[in-house]
Amino acid sequence: MKIFKRTSGLAAAASLVLALSPMSAKATEFINILTGGTSGVYYPLGVAISKVYADNIPDSKVQVQSTKASVENLNLLQQGRGELAFSLGDSVKLAWEGDAEVGFKSKLDKLRGIAAIYPNYIQIVATKESGIKTLADLKGKRVSVGAPKSGTELNARAILGAAGMSYDDLGKVEYLPFGESVELIKNRQLDATLQSAGLGVASIRDLASSLPITVVSVPASVVEKLGPPYVSAEIPAKTYDGQEGGVPTVAVVNFLVTREGVSDEVAYEMTKLIFDNLTGIEAAHKAAAQIKLENATKGMPIPLHPGAERYYKEKGLLK
């Protein structure tokens, strides 16, 4: 009788071990999407992508993290603290090179590319009462240049430099996210803000609906001095309330980036699902309308993840 009980106990224990073994339980796939401030474009697009992943990647747990955007996102990826990140192209390039001055202590060699997405338009907006109409008019004025060492702030430095200016020429420099910058302008504590984002960004829409604004142009001569990955672009008329005509500016392409530790299968699914669900993602923000499969591998400053590469080969974009 005792032997029978002992055998039953061993069998039960063995069954329990089997039930808890990795072979019988499928591991949860964690996908953390690194975005930007909630009033920018990265965040709503990240939320839309997270829903697509949660609905289509089995056993996945997907979350969206609001961050200071490009530079922070890339550093977090390198540390293994995210699986997908939004970033400006110049930040990705500088991260791969390990530019310490802009916030990358060493080469971020674990970064891998997923896709080129939509261009960020550098949008310099001032209150009409400030009298700012040109880049030169920013001298002596109170300007927010984006969160410290964010992709936006890197853009601000580069553009002012190409225009023969620096932060020293400004009356006051604030390093603030989009939403906070706009609140200070509304309270007459700032004159202008430089925001690198998709067209129709919520923060500038909010400002334009509250105060008369001027959208400041970035001349082609300045864009020429900047060189790649910057390109000439235009903010179309009526993008914001009170903006009657198109305004020349500069743009830089955004990228979706992952890291080498993400499995080939997950990277493949993350890439495929974005292009299979563009209509739904566009509903989250109109900037997504500019995401095109044919442009997905153009200008990629880092190696593609093998999973993404497999998808593009299937689609005939790569041989």
Judge if 96 and 155 occupy the same domain: no
Judge if 134 and 245 occupy the same domain: yes
Looking at the structure of the chain, the number of domains it has is 2
**270 located within any domain:** yes
Judge if 134 and 52 occupy the same domain: no
Judge if 93 and 62 occupy the same domain: yes
Judge if 281 and 245 occupy the same domain: no
Residue 151, pLDDT score = 85
206: nearest Cα among 130, 125, 270:
125
In terms of residue numbers, what domain contains 107?
Answer: 29-118+254-314
Judge if 152 and 83 occupy the same domain: no
Residue 228, pLDDT score = 79
List, in order, residues 6 or more apart from 113 with CB less than 8 Å away.
92, 255, 256, 257, 258, 297, 300, 301, 302, 303, 304, 305, 308
Q: Kindly report the CATH number assigned to the domain that includes residue 71.
A: 3.40.190.10
Judge if 195 and 127 occupy the same domain: yes
Residue 32 is inside which H or E element, if any? strand 29-34
Judge if 67 and 169 occupy the same domain: no
**165 located within any domain:** yes
Residue 126, pLDDT score = 98
Per residue in 8-18, pLDDT tens? 444 444 444 44
Residue 254, pLDDT score = 94
**20 located within any domain:** no
Judge if 133 and 220 occupy the same domain: yes
Judge if 165 and 204 occupy the same domain: yes
**17 located within any domain:** no
Judge if 101 and 33 occupy the same domain: yes
Could you say which of 252, 269, 284 is where a domain stops?
252
**Average pLDDT of the residues of the chain:** 91
**15 located within any domain:** no
**142 located within any domain:** yes
Q: What is the distance between the alpha carbons of residues 73 and 35, in angstroms, rounded to a whole number? A: 7
Which residues of the chain are modeled with pLDDT < 70?
1-26
Per residue in 132-159, pLDDT tens? 999 999 999 999 999 887 889 999 999 9
Q: How far is CA 154 from the centre of its chain?
A: 14
In this structure, are residues 197 and 253 in contact, taking their beta carbons and an 8 Å threshold? Answer: no
Could you say which of 236, 252, 268 is where a domain stops?
252
Judge if 38 and 183 occupy the same domain: no
Per residue in 250-267, pLDDT tens? 999 999 999 999 999 999
Residue 176, pLDDT score = 94
Residue 26, pLDDT score = 59
Residue 102, pLDDT score = 86
Residue 75, pLDDT score = 97
Could you say which of 223, 252, 281 is where a domain stops?
252
User: For residue 203, what are its two tokens?
Assistant: 């923060």
**12 located within any domain:** no
Q: What is the distance between the alpha carbons of residues 155 and 152, in angstroms, rounded to a whole number? A: 5
